[in-house]
Amino acid sequence: MQITCISDTHNLHDKLIIPEQGDVIVHAGDITEGGTQRELRDFFKWFAQLPFTHKICIAGNHDFFLENISEKAIKKLIPANVTYLNDSGISINGYKFWGSPYIPFQQNWAFTKSPIEIEEHWKKIPEDTDILITHTPPKGILDITNYEVEVGCPALKKEISKKKPTIHIFGHLHDNYGKVMRKDITYINATSFYNHLKLTNLPIQVEIPD
């Protein structure tokens, strides 16, 4: 099964070079720039028609409209063939996906939590998670800014060391796009745009046995 990973498209989703077909596509948050309902509708119209069997997304800190939306409003906004995860999961071909949008506290952003609050969200990650999707990176992995500062979440790193997913997909930090393996876990920073219009990163693809 092939998983295609994108993130941080910030309304520029239609500029991406997407594979012609695939099994699963994952968007790891920051769908929008301004966080409005209109921006989200435009994205979901595009996302829903992509030629993938399964389409999964989470929110990011720019996606304000999704932060306090009701379950009823989510069903109205998000197409039936798109799976939106918010501290929730889905099983595909026996693989368990779990998604969560939260980031360490940053003032005036969506889905931002204090160190104590964010720990409670990470504790919800099931022990048997195979593919973890978060917006924030974990501390020390593909999280270094151009100013040589690590901005990942320490509490998430701690929880991953306990739960040990096979793959961790994230975004948020535009400066450290790429894929690495650490202690049998594949980490993917799938940020699609670096400084928005300056550089378009290709989707990152990873294969797991069917």
What confidence tens digit (pLDDT) does each residue in 83-125 have? 999 999 999 999 999 999 999 998 899 999 999 999 999 999 9
Residue 114: CB partners within 8 Å, gap ≥ 6?
A: 105
**SS3 of residue 188 by DSSP:** strand
**In the predicted structure, residue 198 carries a pLDDT above the cut 70:** no
154-163 and 115-123 helices, crossing angle to 10°: 20
CA distances from 191 to 11, 43, 47, 210 (A): 13, 16, 16, 26
pLDDT at position 194 is 76
pLDDT at 199: 66
DSSP states along 90-103: EEETTEEEEEE--E
> Domains in the chain and their CATH numbers?
2-207 (3.60.21.10)
84 burial (CB, 10 Å; 0-12 / 13-18 / 19+) is: buried
Q: What pLDDT, on a 0 to 100 scale, did the predictor assign at position 180?
A: 97
Q: Average pLDDT, stretch 170-178? A: 94
Lowest mean pLDDT among 4-13, 90-99, 118-127, 188-197: 188-197
Average pLDDT, the chain: 95
Q: pLDDT at position 30, please?
A: 97
Per-residue pLDDT tens digits for 35-81: 999 999 999 999 999 999 999 999 999 999 999 899 899 989 999 99
Tell me the Cα Rg of the chain.
Answer: 15
Residue-level pLDDT at 57: 99
pLDDT of residue 196: 59
Q: What percent of the chain has pLDDT over 90?
A: 88
> What pLDDT does 106 receive?
86
Would you state the pLDDT for residue 147? 84
**H-type helices in the chain, by residue range?**
37-48, 71-77, 115-123, 154-163
φ, ψ of residue 18 to 5 degrees: the values are -105, 140
